[in-house]
Structure formats: C-alpha cells, structure tokens
Amino acid sequence: MTQDRTRLIALLGISGIGKTTLSLRLIDEIKTGFDYVIYRSLRFSPTLDATITNLLQIFSQPSEISQNIETQISQILDYLRKYRCLIVLDDVQMLFSSRQLAGQYKTGYEDYQLFFKLIAEVCHQSCLILNSWEKPREIARLSKDNHPVRCFVLGSLGVAADGVTTPLKPIANKGLTDLW
C-alpha cells in the first residue's frame, strides 16, 4: 500500500442523479481491497457524536467508546490507521443550512468540518466517500492544497445509473477506481 492513496472523495451532484447507486456499485467493485466497508446515511442529520459513536461500535465494545468527541475522533482515526476501511457517508447535504452559502453547516453540526479535515490530513490507510448535493467548504480548500482529496461532480449518468451499462464508466474514465 502506498501512503498517498486518496483519503477523502466527494461525489457531488443534484438529487436523483445516481450518487447513491454509483457508490453502492463502486463498493461492489472494490470491496475486496478493504477490511471494512461501511455505508451510512446522514439523511436524518445525526450529530457527529452520533455518527462517530455508530462507527466506533463496529470496532469496539460500547464501554470502550469515550463520551468526549475529541477522544472519539482520535479513536476512529486509530481504527482507520489499523484497518483499511471504506466509509461512505450519503446525504451529506443534510448537514448544511438551507438558504445560506453553499456548504455552510447547520448550527450544531460544525464538528463535521473538523472531522472531514482530519480525515484528509491525518495519515491513515482508509477512504471516506461523501455523497452530497453541495461541496463542503473544507473539501474545496483541501482538494486545492495537494491533500489526498478528490471531488467528482456528476452529470447525468443516464442508463448507467440503472445498470443497463457499466455504472462506473463515467467515473472510471476519471481514474476514481485507481485512486486506491
């Protein structure tokens, strides 16, 4: 394994374009390269504490999970170093305020910004995929600063999204499946 693998990928596009379908098909294509494959929807806007606690329950007993968010983030980063994990967080746009500038978090959800930034900056062997209508602001900055972060804005996948043709072709042509 190389140290420069992509740690964070944002799949962006309008509602109904096929981001979730593409992610699920991508998981199917590359799952053998990972120790853990985890898919979570953020549709109901869980706090970062709830999301991290949910992820930590996969790796440890509830009694081992700290109640402190900073310690929880440290714990999850330790697991991302120890194991090769693919984590897909769907519906990330549910964390953002409506009628605000794009990518601005709702009150109480700002911790996600730090979490996504740490995923991109801290060395580990895992990959986090974010599906969203909007690009989180920190992703825009990190993808410009030579971090292992990539953004893909999806146009219409047409028949590709329903499986009639290879669903990964539009992304594979951009090298997504080669990122890890």
pLDDT at res. 145: 67
pLDDT at res. 120: 92
More confidently predicted of 71 and 174: 71
Superfamily of segment(s) 8-178: P-loop containing nucleotide triphosphate hydrolases (3.40.50.300)
- pLDDT single digits (tens) 22-52: 999 989 999 999 999 999 999 999 999 999 9
What ranges do the domains of the chain cover? Answer: 8-178
What is the side-by-side order of every strand in the sheet holding 149-153? 36-41, 85-90, 127-132, 8-12, 149-153
What mean pLDDT is predicted for residues 116-136?
93
Q: Is 157 exposed, middle or buried (0-12, 13-18, 19+ CB in 10 A)?
A: buried
Residue 171, token pair as written in the block: 């992304």
- pLDDT single digits (tens) 61-113: 988 999 999 999 999 999 999 999 999 999 999 999 887 667 789 999 999 99
- Quick one: which of 4, 2, 9, 6 has its CA closest to 152? 9
pLDDT band at 165 (very low <50, low <70, confident <90, very high): very low
- 150 DSSP β-pair partners: 9
pLDDT at res. 156: 58
